Amino acid sequence: MTDRSIAIPDAAADKRRLILDAAVRVFARSGYHGARVGDIAEEAGVAHGLLYHYFSSKEEVLATVFRENWRALLETLHRVEADDEPADEKLRGVTKVILRSWRNDPDLVRVMVREVARSPHLQAQVDEVREVFLVLQRIVEEGQAKGVFRRDLDARLASWIIYGGLEEILTGWVLGQLPDGDDEVARAERTILDVVCGGLVVR
Amino acid sequence: MTDRSIAIPDAAADKRRLILDAAVRVFARSGYHGARVGDIAEEAGVAHGLLYHYFSSKEEVLATVFRENWRALLETLHRVEADDEPADEKLRGVTKVILRSWRNDPDLVRVMVREVARSPHLQAQVDEVREVFLVLQRIVEEGQAKGVFRRDLDARLASWIIYGGLEEILTGWVLGQLPDGDDEVARAERTILDVVCGGLVVR
Amino acid sequence: MTDRSIAIPDAAADKRRLILDAAVRVFARSGYHGARVGDIAEEAGVAHGLLYHYFSSKEEVLATVFRENWRALLETLHRVEADDEPADEKLRGVTKVILRSWRNDPDLVRVMVREVARSPHLQAQVDEVREVFLVLQRIVEEGQAKGVFRRDLDARLASWIIYGGLEEILTGWVLGQLPDGDDEVARAERTILDVVCGGLVVR
Amino acid sequence: MTDRSIAIPDAAADKRRLILDAAVRVFARSGYHGARVGDIAEEAGVAHGLLYHYFSSKEEVLATVFRENWRALLETLHRVEADDEPADEKLRGVTKVILRSWRNDPDLVRVMVREVARSPHLQAQVDEVREVFLVLQRIVEEGQAKGVFRRDLDARLASWIIYGGLEEILTGWVLGQLPDGDDEVARAERTILDVVCGGLVVR
DNA sequence: GATGAATGAGATTTCATTCAT
DNA sequence: AATGAATGAAATCTCATTCAT
């Protein structure tokens, strides 16, 4: 085989990546404030000074973790939005993407939910965060336009409510308060769509 | 002699109370980590040493802020729960209580949303937090038992979803991302009930 | 005796003073950059944190050392300037004040000569430094006006030259390059006045 | 093939020279402590690692700057000293050499005056510095022997005073406190010789 | 109760220097 | 010779907490 990057993955593993991955684990374990720069470096197996070779500060490490992963999330959501499907199906897609991230990378979700979502850090990234709400809002509006969703609802508020429900379930898992497991994720998917689309009330 | 607390209210003004109120403002402004004990004392107009006369640590100040106010919230919610009303009306009551807290005391909401809700501090108070979910869950279950709400939904998950929606709207106000004002609070109330009870989908 | 400040001087010794005095010794010994904040605190017999109770930074300690002592020097020089004496006698007064400071407080002179005089720190205090030159310049100008000193000389440049001669002699003592002792100070006084007033050249 | 150093001068440009010249500029701009090795390398247009190929440390760079230039100064002064001229003319020569260095290479003078002259670095080079005083001292002594200069003065102290006057004028220019320009340099030359040789006092 | 001087553990950050490539 | 990623010692400064008054 010719591709050496596969043959010797670790040699090629760039330290910046190592540091970012370590940071996710350490932030997940200790929280942003509880995490010492030295802990991250140790977890990454590098000298702590190297962290400052790649990032200007501990906060920039967190910001980078957020930025890179949020961007990936946004891309996925944009693909879902672009799908040729009815609005309720798109909502299912968004729900899947967000809820399944928990099983996929629990540490990352831990960090995103606890350190970024409502925290005072990274308020600069407000625009990036807002875009998730906008995706949801556009889906709701599309549903309203197509007559799938009720038109008497404020689409913006609805998007915040939906996102809140999703994030709260992630939070339940993060805090160990909601039962975990693939089945539970599937059940949560169903439930949120049932509640949000169908409503609690018996028809 | 008559009640001095009326005669000289300010002199009698409990310094402990002063400190707690100041703490809310400072935590709201700077976040828990950004708030220095000296800032709180200064805001309260007392020497910072005095804080340690009433509280064992800065964290205990936050814990006390949380405890006292959360307890008040719980009492209110318990009263709503005990009302002799159908489940959907109780849901409306809970929604009102929670959303109106924003207009009532924005700084307090800021602190509760940002520093307590999902943060690593105060995990000890998990039981108190859980009780809010349980109130919601019991209301949902009651609705299911009475045939008002659909029975095919997981009541626990539903309660998390509802709470998430409520908290996210508070967050929107806290972050200045959702429009503020009495009308907006009323609209938010309506919307969350419409979404959660009626569902998005056209019947 | 009633004055307790004399009875218990050390109890009254305020820590700020202790820190400043220690700083002079440590700066003299190690230079500003070589001096660690911890060294100063240790020399003063206090915790290093206390230094930040009184000063905002290590640099402010140096600035304060400079400011307080330079101000004292200026006051003395102003008194000399105000004396009712001929210009050449005033020059003798200035010379005495400056050169005798060496015997008086060698550590302080060390710090002033090495860390302040031409260093990049404390450029903010330029005005205070300039005043010494101005005192000299005014004395020279007064001498010129009274016909004691030659009028064909630039008084400003002359003041810089005189001050340079004085400071260089201090430097010689600081660096251990010029012989030290009361006699030597007296000889230096005589020499600088001989050179500056009388000139090298035989008449 | 012809001399490549002419054909491709820049390629041949000694990196060591590049680094030294850059160091003078950076030391002049930021001071020795404020100058980072990386700054010097950047100013020189080379990687900072290369600096350690030519010098053992940052301090050695400063020492080299000092050594090479001081040596050049000494050679010039020695030539002046060896001239077949009366002592006062030799003094004029020394004055010219020292004061004109300012217009010639202000950055270098800045570094020499601020970082070397009285600083704790490079105390090893004390002998080299002393030689300048010795040149002056020998000129003064020669003048005394020849009957041109007064014999009742301590020649060593006189040499320190003269050097101090010269250096202080350089300092005035370095600090931007004395007016700059060719005319001013000429005036400074005249003034220092007038003061030192003729004295302030009217005869 | 009230004050604020005093403490000191601890954290981030800097940057000269090394060394594999 | 040349590069710049990597190291890690070291230093300043912060701030929660204590305690004498």
CATH number at residue D35: 1.10.10.60
Strand E reaches within 7 A of the B52 CB: yes
Length of chain A: 203
The total domain count for chain B is 2
CB contact (8 A) between residue A192 and residue B34: no
Nearest nucleotide (CA of B36 to C1'): F15
- For the stretch A72-118, pLDDT in tens is 999 999 999 999 999 999 999 999 999 999 999 999 999 999 887 76
Residues C43 and C140 in one domain: no
Residues B50 and B140 in one domain: no
Confidence at residue C120, expressed as pLDDT on a 0 to 100 scale: 58
- Please report, rounded to whole angstroms, the spatial distance between the CA atom of protein residue A11 and the C1' atom of nucleotide F5: 14
Residues B143 and B118 in one domain: yes
In whole angstroms, what separates CA B69 from the centre of its chain? 7
State the first-to-last Cα distance of chain A, in angstroms, to the nearest integer: 62
Pair B146, B127: CB distance under 8 Å = no
Query: Which CATH number belongs to the domain containing residue B71 in this structure?
Result: 1.10.357.10
- High-pLDDT (> 70) share of chain A, %: 87
Strand E reaches within 7 A of the D117 CB: no
Confidence at residue A203, expressed as pLDDT on a 0 to 100 scale: 62
Confidence at residue C4, expressed as pLDDT on a 0 to 100 scale: 40
Confidence at residue C12, expressed as pLDDT on a 0 to 100 scale: 43
| Residue C201, strand partner residues | D149
d(CA C31, CA B15): 48
- Please report, rounded to whole angstroms, the spatial distance between the CA atom of protein residue B48 and the C1' atom of nucleotide F19: 13
D partners (3+ CB pairs within 8 A) are C
Segment B23-38 mean pLDDT: 95
For the beta carbon of residue D177, count every other beta carbon within 10 angstroms.
Answer: 14
Nearest nucleotide (CA of C37 to C1'): F12
Confidence at residue A7, expressed as pLDDT on a 0 to 100 scale: 40
Residues A51 and A129 in one domain: no
pLDDT grade for C126, boundaries at 50, 70 and 90: confident
Residues D143 and D43 in one domain: no
Confidence at residue C92, expressed as pLDDT on a 0 to 100 scale: 95
* Res A6 pLDDT > 90: no
End of a domain among B55, B77, B100?
A: B55
**Bigger pLDDT: B46 vs C116:** B46
Please tell me which of the candidates A158, A197, A202 has its beta carbon nearest to residue B147.
A202
* Res A124 pLDDT > 90: no
- Please report, rounded to whole angstroms, the spatial distance between the CA atom of protein residue C23 and the C1' atom of nucleotide F8: 29
Confidence at residue B203, expressed as pLDDT on a 0 to 100 scale: 62
* Res B6 pLDDT > 50: no
Q: Tell me which protein residue sits closest to nucleotide F19, measuring alpha carbon to C1'.
A: B49
pTM: 0.89
Segment A122-148 mean pLDDT: 89
End of a domain among A11, A40, A55?
A: A55
Segment B83-94 mean pLDDT: 94
Please tell me which of the candidates B114, B149, B172 has its beta carbon nearest to residue A200.
B149
* Res A4 pLDDT > 60: no
Residues C40 and C70 in one domain: no
Strand E reaches within 7 A of the D75 CB: no
Q: Which residues contact B60 (CB under 8 A, 6 or more apart)?
A: none
How many DSSP H helices and E strands does chain A contain?
A: 11, 0
Confidence at residue D116, expressed as pLDDT on a 0 to 100 scale: 77
Confidence at residue A126, expressed as pLDDT on a 0 to 100 scale: 80
Segment C144-148 mean pLDDT: 91
Can you give the residue range of the structural domain that contains C78?
A: 59-200
D164 to chain C, closest Cα gap in Å: 4
pLDDT grade for A2, boundaries at 50, 70 and 90: very low
* Res B3 pLDDT > 50: no
- Give B-chain residues touching A192 at CB under 8 angstroms: 157, 161
Q: Mean pLDDT in chain D?
A: 89
B106 to chain A, closest Cα gap in Å: 15
* Res B9 pLDDT > 90: no
The type of residue at A186 is A
Residues D39 and D81 in one domain: no
pLDDT grade for B126, boundaries at 50, 70 and 90: confident
* A13-A17-A22-A25 Cα dihedral, nearest 10 degrees: -120
Residues D136 and D187 in one domain: yes
Segment C45-52 mean pLDDT: 96
pLDDT grade for C121, boundaries at 50, 70 and 90: low
Please tell me which of the candidates B156, B163, B203 has its beta carbon nearest to residue A203.
B203
Confidence at residue D198, expressed as pLDDT on a 0 to 100 scale: 84
Residues D41 and D82 in one domain: no
Confidence at residue D180, expressed as pLDDT on a 0 to 100 scale: 93
Q: Mean pLDDT in chain A?
A: 89
Q: For tokens 């003061």, what's the residue?
A: D195
Residues A95 and A18 in one domain: no
Segment A157-182 mean pLDDT: 95
Confidence at residue C7, expressed as pLDDT on a 0 to 100 scale: 41
CA distances from C29 to B17, B21, C33, C174, D129 (A): 52, 51, 11, 11, 22
CB contact (8 A) between residue D118 and residue C147: no
Nearest nucleotide (CA of B47 to C1'): E3
Residues A124 and A174 in one domain: yes
The low-confidence residues of chain D, meaning pLDDT below 50, are 1-9, 12
Whose CA is closest to B157, among D166, D54, C178, A180? Answer: A180
Residues A45 and A76 in one domain: no
Confidence at residue D3, expressed as pLDDT on a 0 to 100 scale: 43
Specify the range with the lowest mean pLDDT, choosing from A36-40, B76-80, C11-15: C11-15
End of a domain among B39, B55, B71?
A: B55
